[in-house]
Amino acid sequence: MAPRTVAPFGPQHPVLPEPIQLKITYEDEKVVDVVPAIGYGHRGIEKACELNEYPKNIYLCERICGICSCIHGISYCEVVERLWPIDVPPRAKYLRTIWSEMSRTHSHLLWLGLLADAFGFESMFMQFWRIREKVLDLLEMTTGQRVTQSISVVGGVRRDIDDEQKKKCIEVLREVRKESEALINVLANDYTVKARTVGKGVLTKEQAIALGCTGPHLRASGVKEDCRMQGLQAYGDLGFEPIVEKDGDCYARTLVRCRELLQAIDLQLEAFSKMPEGEIAVRPKGNPPANEAVYRAEQPRGEVFYYAKGNGTRNLERLRVRTPTYANIPSLLVMLPGCELPDVPVIVLSIDPCISCTER
Amino acid sequence: MGIINTSRIKSPWIMHFDNSSCNGCDIEVLACLTPLYDVERFGIVNMGNPKHADVLVVTGPVNRRTARVLKNLYAQIPDPKMVIAVGTCACSGGVFHNCYNILGGVDKVIPVDVYVPGCAVKPEAIIDGVVLALQKLSKALGVAK
Amino acid sequence: MIENIKEVKKDELLAEVKKFADAKARFVTAVCNDLGDKLEVTYFFNMSPGMEMHGLRMTVGKDEEVPSTTGIFLTTVLIENEMKEMFGLKVKDIAIDFGGHMLLAQDSPVTPMLKTGAAGGKGGE
Ligand code: SF4
């Protein structure tokens, strides 16, 4: 038997922008065991949410994760609205949908760039991030911030998109779609990319469900499940269909995200054309009543689960957030053993890990 | 030493470490390296290895587990070194000030030279912060910038 | 109000969870609540494929031991460890036991999520 070596992967590692540690045991080039050690990003947000008043938690929840921040803020508002319940005006629903999809666009572009970087395709990384800046500019124009938008408030949204901005958005989004299509063509058909991703980290449909995977990771294994299917916000009107691939390997996960990226742009364009006029927010009356609620939304990385419990005061009794990476990490324990050492970064990246989400 | 000090100022190598930030500032640090902002045109190069770095860019508040890692990294960077705290929460704890696992800003653990506030910081501000750190470094070394 | 929640006893938990596993449901998460002298744990499952969610709720005393569901769903490893750390819920035989230091460091406050736990503020200062 070849000697075994244990290598720590992280917490500070060039491939990972975030601190997570994987203790990898390998024989020659083959990985035999992994133990994830997390906790480097734990802050204690759930407790802090009990200490703050409920309108202030929006900012805290957005900062659970800076990449999917917009959807975190919206989901928090939605779950608190369900405690009363409050009905949000239709225009606000559309605006929330648009901003959700916009942040999905930027997140998927970011991920595709990081993936290209993980196998050393540096110029592709730069190209994806160049396009991403255009989407960030749109976010800045419409919400006032590039990354943490804090656009949603309990009862609606904080800002409206006027006609001039709308025109600009549509124009830029068309441009982004065209440019990403060209890049995706390269990424999806390139020989080297295929060599690094096809057949790596395979997860079957049964395994994926048993391990509780979510999001693009689950859909790449052939399970048709997406929280947007619930038809909340404006998704019911937009004729949304989830994107599914069959193979369950890294390549399938890449394809799902590529197609979702284009779909997200299409959904935004459609939402812009159907957006009704009207109010953008209602004022909540009194404090959140003593009640419980759950809300699930689809983030770029998968399903996020919010649970809130009110007690009639301005503070919440309990808030629990289960983020997508929290559900996806156990699948690494199945995918990594048996793979080659150089494939570890690609496989780890293929679940689109977001550690600050996981640990809160 | 003249030439080494001059090149230190003209082409600083930075290393980025993420404590327990929300990622917002990390992706902005990364965005600095990409075509729109492209700090490499100023000679600033991103490094993965602390032993090669001159400037340590820290994002996020210090929590009880990363404090040890941060001290360790700081000790590995050769002198003279600069530390830049990027983001409100790296400066003071920011929104996370009342979380039980947070010790506070980066300056609770290692000395900080430049504070860049903003939640999330804009890439322009980060570039400004690096420039400020370099001015400070050149003054300390007695090199004209 | 949350729909489809079923109250179960501690001893029935594993049998009920097994039913979900047989039905090919996907484990979503568990939520622990501090009720003062008792802990309330709710397990959520999604009936895959689809978007229907069901829950199992049990109420246990703070010093009662509860069985681990990791034998049925491996993915509950993280959440059971978390509940153990944050609430001091006594879960027996977790498949991978982090020993109370999965998220919390050695010098972090103990069981911080209990209502009597650390109030926060610069690391409990
Ligand atoms: S300063 Fe704000 S955006 Fe930056 S890491 Fe901290 S919380 Fe996130």
For A152-168, how does the pLDDT look when each residue is reduced to its tens digit (9 = 90+)?
888 888 888 888 888 88
How close is the Cα of B85 to the center of ligand 1, in Å? 11
* Angstrom distance (rounded) from CA B112 to CA A84: 46
For residue B107, give how far its alpha carbon lies from the nearest alpha carbon of chain A (Å): 17
Higher-confidence residue of A29 and A331: namely A331
* Angstrom distance (rounded) from CA A4 to CA A13: 22
- Chain B interface disruption, residue of A16, A128, A356, A360, most B CBs within 10 A: A356
Q: Pick from C1, C26, C117: which is nearest to A291 by CB?
A: C1
Alpha helix positions (H), chain C: 13-22, 76-87
Q: In degrees rounded to 5, what are phi and psi of residue C53?
A: -120, 140
Exposed (0-12), middle (13-18) or buried (19+): which is C84, by Cβ within 10 Å?
A: buried
The answer to whether B141 contacts chain A (CB < 8 Å) is no
* Angstrom distance (rounded) from CA B22 to CA A64: 6
- Chain C interface disruption, residue of B19, B64, B69, B101, most C CBs within 10 A: B101
* CA neighbor of A79 nearest in space, from A295, A322, A314: A295
* Angstrom distance (rounded) from CA A197 to CA A203: 13
Q: Between the CA of residue B133 and those of A194, B26, B29, B85, what are the distances in Å?
A: 43, 19, 16, 11
At C120 the pLDDT is: 45
* CA neighbor of B87 nearest in space, from B14, B27, B15: B27
What atom in ligand 1 is closest to the CA of residue B120? 3
Tally B–C CB contacts below 8 A.
38
By percentage, how much of chain B surpasses pLDDT 90?
0
Question: Minimum mean pLDDT among A198-212, A215-229, A331-345, C99-113: which range?
Answer: C99-113
CATH topology of domain B2-141: Rossmann fold (3.40.50)
For residue A245, give how far its alpha carbon lies from the nearest alpha carbon of chain C (Å): 14
Under an 8 A CB cutoff, do B23 and A42 touch?
Answer: no
For residue C36, give how far its alpha carbon lies from the nearest alpha carbon of chain B (Å): 20
DSSP line for B44-62: -EEES-GGG-SEEEEES-E
What is this structure's pTM?
Answer: 0.85
Please give the residue of chain B at the shortest CA–CA distance from C120. B100
Q: Say if ligand 1 is within 6 A of residue B92 CB.
A: no
Contact indicator for C77, A330 with CB cutoff of 8 Å: yes
Under an 8 A CB cutoff, do B100 and C112 touch?
Answer: yes
Q: Phi/psi zone of residue C46: left (φ > 0), alpha (ψ -120 to 50 degrees), beta? A: beta
For residue A253, give how far its alpha carbon lies from the nearest alpha carbon of chain B (Å): 22
Task: Give the contacts of A12 (CB within 8 A, at least 6 positions apart).
Answer: A19, B17, B69, B73
For A76-104, how does the pLDDT look when each residue is reduced to its tens digit (9 = 90+)?
888 888 888 888 888 888 888 888 888 88
At C124 the pLDDT is: 37
* Angstrom distance (rounded) from CA B21 to CA B93: 10
* Angstrom distance (rounded) from CA A46 to CA C118: 13
* CA neighbor of A104 nearest in space, from A216, A261, A302: A261
Q: State which amino acid sits at residue B43.
A: G
For residue A110, give how far its alpha carbon lies from the nearest alpha carbon of chain B (Å): 9
* CA neighbor of C25 nearest in space, from C83, C73, C85, C97: C73
Contact indicator for B101, C124 with CB cutoff of 8 Å: no
Under an 8 A CB cutoff, do C118 and B100 touch?
Answer: yes
Q: Say if ligand 1 is within 6 A of residue B119 CB.
A: yes
Q: Say if ligand 1 is within 6 A of residue A63 CB.
A: yes
Tally A–B CB contacts below 8 A.
118
At A290 the pLDDT is: 80
What DSSP designation does A64 have? Answer: T
Contact indicator for A248, A203 with CB cutoff of 8 Å: yes
Helix (H), strand (E) at residue B141? helix B123-141
Contact indicator for B102, A43 with CB cutoff of 8 Å: yes
Contact indicator for A65, A354 with CB cutoff of 8 Å: yes
Q: State which amino acid sits at residue A147.
A: V
Categorize the per-residue pLDDT at A2 as very low, low, confident or very high, splitting at 50, 70 and 90. low
For A283-301, how does the pLDDT look when each residue is reduced to its tens digit (9 = 90+)?
877 777 888 888 888 888 8
* Angstrom distance (rounded) from CA A6 to CA A321: 33
User: Which tokens in the block code for residue A155?
Assistant: 């009862």
Please give the residue of chain A at the shortest CA–CA distance from B100. A44
Contact indicator for B19, B106 with CB cutoff of 8 Å: yes
At C123 the pLDDT is: 38
Each residue's pLDDT, cut to its tens digit, for chain C (125 residues) gives: 677 777 777 777 777 778 777 777 888 888 888 877 788 888 888 877 777 788 888 888 777 777 777 777 777 878 888 888 777 777 777 777 666 667 776 677 777 777 666 554 433 33
Under an 8 A CB cutoff, do A223 and C49 touch?
Answer: yes
Q: Say if ligand 1 is within 6 A of residue A104 CB.
A: no
Domains for chain C: give ranges and CATH numbers.
5-109 (3.30.460.80)
The answer to whether B61 contacts chain A (CB < 8 Å) is yes
User: Which tokens in the block code for residue A123?
Assistant: 């110029």
Largest CA distance in chain A: 71
Please give the residue of chain A at the shortest CA–CA distance from C116. A47
3-state helix/strand/coil string of A209-243: HHCCCCHHHHHCCCCCCCHHHHCCCCCCCCCCCCC
Under an 8 A CB cutoff, do C108 and B64 touch?
Answer: yes
Q: Whose CA is nearest to atom 6 of ligand 1?
A: B89
Distance of alpha carbon B5 from the chain centroid: 19
Categorize the per-residue pLDDT at A15 as very low, low, confident or very high, splitting at 50, 70 and 90. low
Under an 8 A CB cutoff, do B104 and C118 touch?
Answer: no
Contact indicator for A106, A80 with CB cutoff of 8 Å: no
Q: Say if ligand 1 is within 6 A of residue A150 CB.
A: no
Contact indicator for C85, C37 with CB cutoff of 8 Å: no
Categorize the per-residue pLDDT at A195 as very low, low, confident or very high, splitting at 50, 70 and 90. confident
Q: Say if ligand 1 is within 6 A of residue B59 CB.
A: yes
Contact indicator for C90, C66 with CB cutoff of 8 Å: yes
Residue ranges of domains in chain B:
2-141
Domains for chain A: give ranges and CATH numbers.
42-359 (1.10.645.10)
Task: Give the contacts of B79 (CB within 8 A, at least 6 positions apart).
Answer: none
For B42-73, how does the pLDDT look when each residue is reduced to its tens digit (9 = 90+)?
778 777 777 888 888 888 888 877 788 888 88
The answer to whether C104 contacts chain B (CB < 8 Å) is yes
Task: Give the contacts of C60 (CB within 8 A, at least 6 positions apart).
Answer: C10, C38, C39, C41, C66, C89
* CA neighbor of A100 nearest in space, from A133, A131, A59, A68: A68
* Angstrom distance (rounded) from CA B99 to CA B90: 14
The answer to whether B17 contacts chain A (CB < 8 Å) is yes
